[in-house]
Structure 1
Amino acid sequence: MHWTVDRLEGDWAILECPDQQIVRLPRNQLPADLREGDLLQVTFTINHQATTRCRQQMNDRIDDFFTNP
């Protein structure tokens, strides 16, 4: 999947997704040499540790809500 760098606006990069949606991302999360017109190769991976931690925190909050009304 490729996203196109439409333009750079200050600290933000405005990207066009393959489905033509526009996404705004902080430039500091992208390659430093990013330029308008560049194509970004986008790959998503699951962060299993963070997912487990987040789910546990949510379960803890739910348990706390029902045990401490």
Structure 2
Amino acid sequence: MWILDRIEGGIAVIETEEGRLELPRQQLPPDVKEGDVLVQTGSGICVDAAETSRRREKIAERYRRLRSKP
């Protein structure tokens, strides 16, 4: 699983299970955003919308729980 960490200039910085990967921004879908989960397919790299949504909800829930603690 790859997660887009940030875009610096024309370089996309991606976190992978093996470490950090840097790719030209043009190799990613035009609508990609920081935090998106990316998958490599036979036709290139695409956003896994379902996994991205699941991870964002999980993070939001953790944040809500942290904020509710006294």
TM class, shorter-length: 0.5 to 0.7
Q: CA deviation at 1:34?
A: 1.1
Match of 1:29 in 2: 27
TM-score normalised by structure 1 residue count:
0.55
Return 5+ residue gaps in structure 2 as ranges.
43-70
Partner of 1:8, secondary structure, is: strand
Instruction: Measure how far apart 1:8 and its partner are.
Output: 0.8
Structure (1 or 2) with the larger CA radius of gyration = 1
Task: State the 4+ residue runs in structure 1 displaced beyond 4 angstroms.
Answer: none
Instruction: Supply the RMSD in Å over aligned alpha carbons.
Output: 1.7
The 1-side partners of 2:15 and 2:32 are apart by 14
Tell me, which stretches of 5 or more residues in structure 1 are unaligned?
45-69
Distance in 2 between residues matched to 1:11 and 1:38, nearest whole Å = 17
Structure 2 counterpart of 1:38, from 36, 39, 60: 36
Q: Identical aligned pairs, as a percentage?
A: 45
Structure with the higher fraction of residues in strand conformation: 2
Give per-residue Cα distances to partners, 1:19-67, cap 9 Å, x unaligned. Answer: 3x101000101101111000001246xxxxxxxxxxxxxxxxxxxxxxx
The 1-side partners of 2:20 and 2:9 are apart by: 17
